[in-house]
Chains A and B, each alone.
Chain A
């Protein structure tokens, strides 16, 4: 043992204490740095050749619970996800305005209906007309504004995804570098604690944006995978690519098929190519997931709801609103209606008339006797007798009239096309003057064909009926197809096309599948031709084809149209390729015709010649009011509002309350999740953060140990001094 050894030991003590103070100073300085973890440098006794030679500071290490760190990263991802959704929806909610300001779209619909109610009182007052037009204009403007807001929020979300992807790429590149540095330091036994802190911060940044898994390999090298297990960083960082598209429109939607995709997606690029991470929902947490949810689901849903409202509104207040005179067009193929002359009913008893309907012969027998000098009396008697026979046999719907024409008497049957009147014969004794002649009528037993123009089928509810006689039962059978708007289509319905031609094609196809064997339908332009190739009694015989619908002569202008100015077109809910509904809320506008002349809101054609109604006639206005507030319409089921029937007013309320409820729900979810994140953060910080008191007490110890070592040095020095003094 020597004094030198003591000297060396105390020197080591001084060094160790200094290094310790160094660590404490570092800790205290970073006490409020986010992401900083407390460092410590444990003391180790210094042993040289089995002999203790003092003390040394070990490598600086971090105090981190990796389990809590991972939990923290997961929760941060979940919180970010909810935060962006909640923020965006709150933003959208702002557009609906304060409840008492009544600027929401529901209030706008309500305003329109009150304006129409006022107009019904004084239809001719131009100021009231103008205010109704203004209400309609504001409603359209409200829808446009909301729709624009939805799209601009989608654009913001899209931009944010791009920014997040850039951040992730930068973080990955930095982590790649840090991995190398940390490995190098580990190899040379130097501390990598601060670098690891930095790396954790970067991983945290990535985890806030998308969900990832991490693990460390030898050399403290961090590997990052996506939640689904795709490599993001393993030695080298892979690159994420966001392939943005053009400006955001309601039509721009996500699709797993890249050629149909209207918005950008997040692609993972590696040596083997690129892979769409959104296709199977491989990003389910973090802000990117939130933005994607907003851009591709929540905001398009809001757009769809607005579109549905605009769509229902435009159609309800569209052309053909006026209850025009219903028209019935009938084409009968048999000689059901017709005038059949008979001659000289005579004045003898035993006269009878027989007629055949739907294959069964009935008789109006024992016609009363009338003098030939009283032709009017004879006609009335014959008519009464036939009428009675028709009524007795359940043919109340067939009309019969008998009249004197010249020297003949004519019987006219009119039937609505449901029956097949095939024969009329007279029997009886000879009449004065001329004998009773038998007049027989019936269908011409040759190939029958009849054409009917379906160009007039333009409104939902219009229908087409084909009637034929069933050979087995000899009873008339019929099918009726009803026009509906897309997309609903049931067995007895067909969808209206954008043009009369396309409607006709649909009708023809539908009919071809429904008509019995033996009856055929062909199409030329808008004319459907029905043919009955074989009219014998053993096959179905075509009887009648009829179209029933609303008058097409109505010229009242639709209140709302698609687009503005010279681009304005009539809104039908359809375009060349399908539905024009998507994005209609962005384009809806008051028809130019109405803007130019508000009286068009009141007046309508009262007849086929287009004569306009009086300016004070409230019929049209009341009808529009009814459509707006009382009549219910079937909603498209996929809107989050349920598949149900609502009035337009209720629909607007349902949309606003759906959106505001959704915003409130997301806000709740976010603040709950934020609470979870806070508690995990505190747990992590408490474990790994710096406590100044702790550092101070450490400092006290270090100071004392430093003092003590200096005392020893002083003691050794005085010993050396004493020794040297003794020698001198």
Chain B
């Protein structure tokens, strides 16, 4: 077979070029540590490389997300733990004060006010410019300051809790000695009857639950949609051992009981009985009813936004209405979002498919009840002759705080459970990240040892080619023949 000189030269040239190309590629790979310059160079691994890189980015983002969520949850936890601690201390003081020690009562009020301010401060905490306890409304403090809540806002003329309590006390007829709590006691000596009448069944004041008597007295109850009265008959001559037990429901939903016997300061007889009853009702109104009225007023103030307020018509008849959204009269204590699902209002996607929802709001029952009872204790002042009232209030609020504490515990546990999820995702991310990086390395990274070997063999090949070329150059008849 004949060989063309041109073809031979071309072949050598092409071989050298190819080898040089391969060497350059290997040198590049060695320098960059990567097998490919473009995704095309990766060929069928391109899709794997892209997916793995996406995974890495996602894990990195997930790490940031988790860090943010964890910080927020830590702050939430510490806030609630503090609230819990406060409520625990104060409720003990209140309950002790209620049953034993009058001396502690005045300090109770001072402590309550300090704690109210602290709790509001905790709820208005912001982290990196974000208010944590306003649900999805993160750009403003969710809770009004303590002074505004208690005393109202003089700039806008909106009243606060003190006014709310006063209004409610008026509506509940707390200090009305003529008809304490809206109950009228009347007698008819001719017929021998005593009537306790609630002339307006409007939900204010006392509501008659039941009346029990000693034997010989007949109880007749008349009730319509608007009024209820209980008539006791057979009292033309009051038996010496006659007793009546009247159970009334208070505005905060609890009940109170008065027991009246015929003998007493006013002498015997029907008038005496009636007087005793009236006297006891007045006392009850000024203690239990006043405390319950304040609690109810606070509930109406705190439980809903807008709050429910008491208004009086021209005749002075009270009614409970929702504060107008367009021209509000009362301070609205809470300014955050009010959706039905507070948890869903702050969310983080930790991972594809794992979304945690960890929003907590200041208007959730746990916080709201704590605030309510702290505010009541701060708002209600008492004179020496009102100790009973304040004692009743301390009892009610103390119990209220205890149940709020239980709710706070539930909340703390709930957030704890979410933190668990976050931690497990974090752990999973770590292990997945290692795996993905290893895999990405096998796809993209060049093996330095392998390339060095390859480079060495190219070098040898190239050297050999050069030598052969040189020898071939000499291997020509031209060099041998002498013309």
Contacts and interface: CB of A to CB of B under 8 A. Distances in A.
B65 interface: yes
Interface string B343-358: 0111111001101000
B345 A653 contact: no
A404 to B, nearest CB: 14
Given A94-B38, A660-B42, A692 B135 contact: no
Given A100-B444, A630-B353, A685 B138 contact: no
B54 interface: yes
B471 interface: no
A694 B2 contact: yes
B41 interface: yes
B50 to A, nearest CB: 5
Interface string A472-512: 00000000000000000000000000000000000000000
B477 A693 contact: yes
Contact of B4 (A94, A618, A622, A688): A688
Nearest to A86: B40
Contact of A614 (B137, B348, B353, B481): B137
B178 interface: no
A490 B444 CA distance: 45
Contacts of A110: 53-54, 57-58
A685 B7 contact: yes
Contact of A654 (B3, B47, B68, B128): B47
B7 A99 contact: no
A232 to B, nearest CB: 30
A96 B38 contact: yes
B275 interface: no
A617 B136 contact: yes
A130 to B, nearest CB: 15
Residue among A89, A616, A690, A700 with the most chain B CB within 10 A?
Answer: A616
A193 B245 CA distance: 140
Contacts of B345: 614, 616-618
A689 interface: yes
Contacts of A617: 136, 337, 345
Contacts of B69: 121
B10 interface: yes
A185 interface: no
B64 A118 contact: yes
Given A124-B130, A689-B4, A656 B57 contact: no
Given A102-B53, A107-B54, A121-B68, A614 B138 contact: yes
Contact of B47 (A111, A118, A657): A657
Nearest to B49: A99
Interface string A90-113: 100110111110101011001101
Contacts of A94: 38
B14 interface: yes
A31 B38 contact: no
What does DSSP make chain A's interface, helix, strand, loop or mixed?
Answer: helix
Interface in A660-683: 660-661, 663-665, 667, 678, 681-682
Nearest to B134: A616
Contact of A697 (B39, B344, B477): B477
A686 interface: yes
Given A615-B137, A696-B481, A118 B65 contact: yes
Interface string B230-265: 000000000000000000000000000000000000
A426 to B, nearest CB: 30
A124 B40 contact: no
Nearest to A683: B7
A32 B40 CA distance: 37
Interface string B1-35: 11111110111001000000000000000000010
B129 interface: yes
A533 interface: no
What class of interface size applies to chain B in its complex with A? 35 or more
Interface in B49-93: 49-51, 53-54, 57-58, 60-62, 64-65, 68-69
Contacts of B128: 122, 125
Given A691-B5, A696-B478, A106 B50 contact: yes
A99 B42 contact: yes
A168 to B, nearest CB: 26
A661 B37 CA distance: 14
A425 interface: no
Contacts of A93: 38-40
B2 A687 contact: yes
A656 B46 contact: yes
Contact of A622 (B44, B60, B134, B355): B355
Contacts of B6: 31-34, 36, 685, 689-690
Nearest to A106: B50
A654 B54 CA distance: 13
Contacts of B65: 117-118, 120-121
B36 interface: yes
Contacts of A697: 477
Contacts of A659: 39-40
Interface in B330-382: 337, 344-349, 352-353, 355
A75 interface: no
Contacts of A656: 39, 46-47, 50
Contact of B349 (A614, A622, A678): A622
A709 to B, nearest CB: 17
Nearest to B138: A616
Contacts of B10: 681-682, 685
Nearest to A678: B14
A32 B5 contact: yes
Nearest to A32: B6
A565 B292 CA distance: 65
Contacts of A686: 1-4, 7
Contacts of B11: 682
B483 interface: yes
B62 to A, nearest CB: 8
A697 B344 CA distance: 96
B477 A696 contact: yes
A354 interface: no
A703 interface: yes
A649 interface: yes
Contacts of B68: 121-122
Given A93-B39, A630-B352, A653 B34 contact: no
B147 interface: no
Contacts of B34: 98-100
Contacts of A90: 38, 40
A34 B10 CA distance: 10
A625 interface: yes
A690 B2 CA distance: 9
Contact of A660 (B46, B62, B355, B476): B46
B139 interface: yes
A664 B44 contact: yes
A384 B53 CA distance: 64
Interface in B412-456: 444
Contacts of A700: 481
A723 B57 CA distance: 109
A132 to B, nearest CB: 12
Interface string B119-163: 000000000111000111111000000000000000000000000
B46 A120 contact: no
Lowest 8 CB-CB distances: which A-B pairs, in order? A689-B4, A616-B138, A657-B47, A685-B7, A93-B40, A617-B136, A663-B40, A696-B477
Given A96-B40, A699-B481, 13 more contacts: A31-B6, A110-B58, A117-B62, A120-B349, A122-B68, A614-B345, A616-B135, A618-B346, A661-B44, A665-B43, A691-B3, A692-B477, A696-B481
Interface of A: 31-34, 36, 38, 89-90, 93-94, 96-100, 102, 104, 106-107, 110-111, 113-114, 117-118, 120-125, 613-619, 622, 625, 629-630, 649, 653-654, 656-657, 659-661, 663-665, 667, 678, 681-682, 685-694, 696-697, 699-700, 703
7 contacts: A32-B9, A99-B42, A99-B53, A661-B44, A691-B5, A692-B477, A693-B5
